Amino acid sequence: MLREDLRIFIREKHWEGCGGLTLTEEMKVTIAAQACLISLCLQRKYYPNVLSVFVYPGAAQQSSSVDPTASDGVAMALVADDQGINVDIRSELNEARAKAQPGFFAAFPEFEPTLTGSLPAGSLAYAGIADPGHALVSLLAQASANQPGLAAGVAALVQRVKQLGKIDLETELLPSLGHEAAFALQPAASGSGIPYLEFLSSGIDPQRADRALASLQGPIADALNASTGQAPSFSENKVNGVTAHSMQVSPTVNLTYAIADTVLLIATDPAAVKQLSGDEPTLADDSTFKEATAGLPSSVSLLAYLNFSGLITLGEQAGLAQDPAYEAFAPEIRKLQALGLAVQESPTQLATDVRLVVGSEASAAPSGDQNPTPKD
């Protein structure tokens, strides 16, 4: 079946090499094979709205799923079934070279994610790592070797904060960030219409984190005053018994932080504090999240999730649905439901597992409702 799909795809499309590239039949077959593998679980297999394929020259960019400096070999498997597509990549590492030149994911210790049980169901995006303070220090060390300009800029920022707030971020704030962290994008709180970002960290030292964040209130307010000409300040209020510290940065951003027991929350909307009460359904219980992460390893260096159904709805509500170019592909795009990603790095292997969940039918086009309904 795949061979016949290849022939039809190659025959029906206009192919053109760009930038002086001479397009060969081998190139066409390679590109068509990737397209047809992805479309095996779709009803409209041959991309009827794609009329031409333009191929450009250029060196392939190494992704973070393969460590080019330490890899002795790479294997990849792609499987399509009725629920979607699974991609597994294994990069076997030379232990000595990997230690001498650590790859990107070497900065992230392995852990078993638990904060998905603290994030709300219906989250639009999530990324989880262990020991965020250690991870950031390791990434800065990598940047010092590979991107010295970036590292110098961060060092200057740290020094500036130390001068203004009398706090050393590296020795006082980062070590207090706990043993697990989650970054998430949440649907708009009721009535706001704007999604918000949040950072959640567990296993923190509450007194140490509270002192560090309190010391940063002044420098943050001063920086915003210099850029806006206003004089914002943090205020305190109780949300479900938790003290929230908030500052209105803009009409759509209300910078908020709160500490509940050994959990730290930083968000762009105080509505996020409500989740610390633990009374609402969580991301770990969300059926879409479960489907996207089914079969992924339980112990990882990084776990990530994208709720495509919610993100696509959000984009269409923001005006994407009125774009003619988007509308041509909208029926197929709306079939994308979610994506789960797990990365594991050990001294001898970098393993990447991806699961893309694809529905058999396109989800309904968005209505006026600004809040995607969580799937539980």
Alpha carbon distances (Å) from 229 to 175, 219, 234, 252: 34, 15, 16, 18
What are the domain boundaries of the chain?
2-55, 71-358
Which residues is 55 bridged to in the sheet? 17
Provide the pLDDT for residue 156: 64
| DSSP three-state, residue 121 | coil
Of the listed ranges 183-197, 254-268, 352-366, the least confidently predicted one is 352-366
Query: What sign does the CA torsion over 8, 14, 17, 18 have?
Result: negative
The amino acid that residue 116 corresponds to is T
- Distance between CA atoms of 188 and 26, rounded to whole angstroms? 48
314-325 mean pLDDT = 87
Q: Give pLDDT tens digits for 16-27.
A: 887 677 888 888
84 or 296, higher pLDDT: 296
Provide the pLDDT for residue 106: 85
State yes or no: pLDDT of 31 exceeds 50: yes
Q: Give pLDDT tens digits for 65-83.
A: 666 667 777 788 888 777 8
238 or 173, higher pLDDT: 238
212: pLDDT confidence band, cut at 50, 70 and 90?
confident
343-362 mean pLDDT = 87
CB 204 within 8 A of CB 131: no
CB 307 within 8 A of CB 123: yes
108-120 mean pLDDT = 94
Strands, E assignment, the chain: 14-17, 52-55, 71-81, 84-93, 125-130, 180-186, 196-202, 235-239, 242-250, 253-260, 263-267, 302-306, 336-345, 349-358
DSSP code at position 169: I
State yes or no: pLDDT of 170 exceeds 70: no
233 or 122, higher pLDDT: 122
Tokens 């970054």 identify what position? 183
Residues 6+ apart with CB under 8 A from 224: 230, 232, 247, 249
- Distance between CA atoms of 284 and 115, rounded to whole angstroms? 8
- Distance between CA atoms of 143 and 150, rounded to whole angstroms? 7
Provide the pLDDT for residue 252: 84
| DSSP three-state, residue 211 | helix
- Distance between CA atoms of 76 and 352, rounded to whole angstroms? 9
Q: Tell me how far the alpha carbon of residue 349 is from its chain's centroid.
A: 22
- Distance between CA atoms of 357 and 223, rounded to whole angstroms? 43
- Distance between CA atoms of 339 and 354, rounded to whole angstroms? 7
144 or 5, higher pLDDT: 5
- Distance between CA atoms of 31 and 233, rounded to whole angstroms? 55
Alpha carbon distances (Å) from 185 to 125, 213, 362: 5, 22, 23
9-13 mean pLDDT = 87
Residues 6+ apart with CB under 8 A from 161: 167, 169, 216, 219
Provide the pLDDT for residue 373: 45
Provide the pLDDT for residue 352: 93
- Distance between CA atoms of 285 and 242, rounded to whole angstroms? 24
State yes or no: pLDDT of 227 exceeds 70: no
The dihedral over CA atoms of 203, 205, 206, 210, expressed in degrees to the nearest 10, equals -130
Which residues is 202 bridged to in the sheet? 180, 263
CB 349 within 8 A of CB 92: yes
The structure tokens listed for 180 are 């697990």
Report the percent of the chain where pLDDT is more than 70.
76
Provide the pLDDT for residue 361: 65
174: pLDDT confidence band, cut at 50, 70 and 90?
confident
DSSP code at position 45: T
State yes or no: pLDDT of 179 exceeds 70: yes
105-127 mean pLDDT = 94
Provide the pLDDT for residue 60: 40
Query: What sign does the CA torsion over 263, 269, 275, 281 have?
Result: negative
369: pLDDT confidence band, cut at 50, 70 and 90?
very low
- Distance between CA atoms of 182 and 283, rounded to whole angstroms? 12
